[in-house]
Amino acid sequence: MGVGGSKLIFSSSIEALLKVAAGRVKPHTERALAALRIGPPHKLEPAYAAADWAKAVQLVGADLFPNVEATQQHFEVGRATVMQFTDGLVGRAMLSAAKLFGARRSLQRMSNSLRRGANFLQSKLTIIDEKTMELWLNDASGVPHFYAGLLSAGHPVIPGWPDLITVKSQDGDACVLELKNSI
| Residue 37, amino acid | R
Q: What's the whole-number average pLDDT of the chain?
A: 91
Mean pLDDT of 85-114: 76
Which pLDDT score is estimated for 88?
Answer: 65
pLDDT band at 183; cut points 50, 70, 90: confident
**More reliable by pLDDT, 61 or 86:** 61
pTM above 0.85, yes or no: yes
Task: Please tell me the distance from the alpha carbon of residue 130 to that of residue 72, in angstroms, as a whole number.
Answer: 27
- Percentage above 70 pLDDT, the chain: 93
165 contacts: CB under 8 Å, gap ≥ 6: 148, 149, 151, 152, 177, 178, 179, 180
**More reliable by pLDDT, 53 or 94:** 53
Q: What is the pLDDT of residues 132-151, one digit of tens each?
A: 999 999 999 999 999 999 99
Residue 2 in this model has a pLDDT that exceeds 50: no
Q: Where are the domains of the chain?
A: 3-85, 101-180
Closest CA to 56 of 110, 112, 114, 14: 14
Mean pLDDT of 18-36: 97
Task: Please tell me the distance from the alpha carbon of residue 153 to that of residue 116, in angstroms, as a whole number.
Answer: 17
